[in-house]
Structure 1
Amino acid sequence: MNRPARLVLVALTASTALLLTACGSGGSDDASSGRIKGAGGGGKASARTSPSASPDGAERPKITLPKEFQANFEGWTNSDPKLQAILNDGREELRSKYAAIIESNPDSQAVAFYNSGASLTSARQWIKSFTDTDDGLIGKVTAHDPQVHINDSGSGVLFYCVDERNASTRNRKTGEVVTTPDKPENVLQYRARLDMNSAGVWKNVSLTTVAGGCN
């Protein structure tokens, strides 16, 4: 079956705070073009979670995804350790939401670990929209072209593209598969603002997505 993918539609309704003003002052970032300066960009992601120690001492949840759903991250590296830390936590934030959908767990502690405030509320709403209809995820998404920056207030700004055209939903009861149409608007640009907490974790505090924003 093929219809406009809910994967994309729900990502859009989950957007609660526009980040075009979160890129710093003085015109240092070109928000109108959907690009920011200080960009650098990873690795691959592989649904259970368990604590895992990290170099900064924070005990982060370990997130794994099943073989039937892959989240690949391309170009997610940066020579600046501070910017790399934002990339690492931004990547795990997205993976935590995919894992929560697959686990049918909108109250996932891993999602709460990487989100706060409005971002946590919208993340749980997005996950719940899948669990309410008993849908999971299969296929593959690719997150690429990350751009990362620390603005004048000390917040992290992370823009990246997510290609959802090879991902589908699958109903757990009926087995019905809904594929994502192969259209440019199904490559979304995610725009996140992150604040570092006292444990050294960069948590999403706001997120918006732009359909076709990476074209």
Structure 2
Amino acid sequence: MKRRTMPIVAALAATTALLLTACSGSSDSSDKAEGADQNTNSISKSPKASPTSPTSSAKVPDFGLPADVKVEIESVTTGDKTKDQVLKEQAEALMARQRIYVDLDPNSRYLTRYYDGEARAFYASEIKKAKTEGRTITGLYRYYDRKVQENDDDRAVVTYCEDRSKAFAKDIETGKARKTKPSPKDFIKNTATLRKTEHGTWLVQSFRGESSARECQ
């Protein structure tokens, strides 16, 4: 992989797709994902439950999520100080992602603390769109099989699986979930590139995702 991060636009131009909320059984794109097309590859077998369980969830700060938004993140310890720090802050970034879709504030401190570059610009645009369309998030988001694939002094690449089979868009006005039928598309293989700041914290710079990922089912 090259030293520079992959722009989100480039990831969307390939066969991968950024998948941002809800599950993917409906023909209405606003119910499937916040602002991105999904990979249409199909898998014949039924999705299996992810290996994550509440008892193995990573310990992260309280992000003040509403009761109807649940997040389970597999706890990972490598024994390498740098990798463990990257995985810790990447887990926090996943929690922050849910919070910004609850707040729908493009200037949210959760967005500026955990995201930068292409990733921050993308989320700022998408939450503006979600606010205009009157939708937020609800349900269970699960993240597992998290691995640091590359790292050096100021850059790291993390891959992880995501299960959104029980996550949905929600109408802000009515409070009703836009429930959709579970699909293999709800299982996503993500790749995130993080950079280290001058303050020693890690920010997500760019990311891409592939739906219907076999290795995540």
TM above 0.5, yes or no, is yes
- Change in CA separation of 1:151 and 1:104 when aligned onto 2, cut-off 3 Å: closer
**Letter matched to residue 80 of structure 1:** D
Structure 2 equivalent of residue 128 of structure 1: 128
Question: CA-to-partner distance for each residue in 1:78-107, whole Å, 9 max, x for gaps?
Answer: 321211111111111121121111122222
Structure 1 equivalent of residue 57 of structure 2: 43
Give the counterpart of 1:3 among 26, 39, 50: 26
For the Cα contact (< 8 Å) 2:32–2:169, is it kept in 1? no
Q: 1:44-193, aligned counterparts within 5 Å? A: 44=58, 63-151=63-151, 154-193=154-193
* Structure 1 gap ranges (5+): 15-41, 47-51, 53-61
Matched residues in 1 for 2:59 and 2:64: separation? 8
- Change in CA separation of 1:78 and 1:13 when aligned onto 2, cut-off 3 Å: farther
TM, length-normalised to structure 1: 0.71
Matched residues in 2 for 1:138 and 1:76: separation? 25
For the Cα contact (< 8 Å) 2:139–2:167, is it kept in 1? yes
Q: 1:23-34, aligned counterparts within 5 Å? A: none
> Displacement of 1:122 after TM fit?
0.8
* Structure 2 gap ranges (5+): 1-24, 39-55
1:198 correspondence with 2:180: no
Matched residues in 2 for 1:169 and 1:70: separation? 13
SS of the equivalent of 2:200 reads coil
Matched residues in 2 for 1:45 and 1:166: separation? 22
Pairwise CA RMSD = 2.5
SS of the equivalent of 2:166 reads strand
**Letter matched to residue 3 of structure 1:** S
**Is the strand fraction higher in 1 or 2?**
1
Matched residues in 2 for 1:210 and 1:175: separation? 29
Structure 2 equivalent of residue 25 of structure 1: none
> Displacement of 1:175 after TM fit?
3.1
TM, length-normalised to structure 2: 0.70
Work out the percentage of aligned pairs sharing the same amino acid: 20
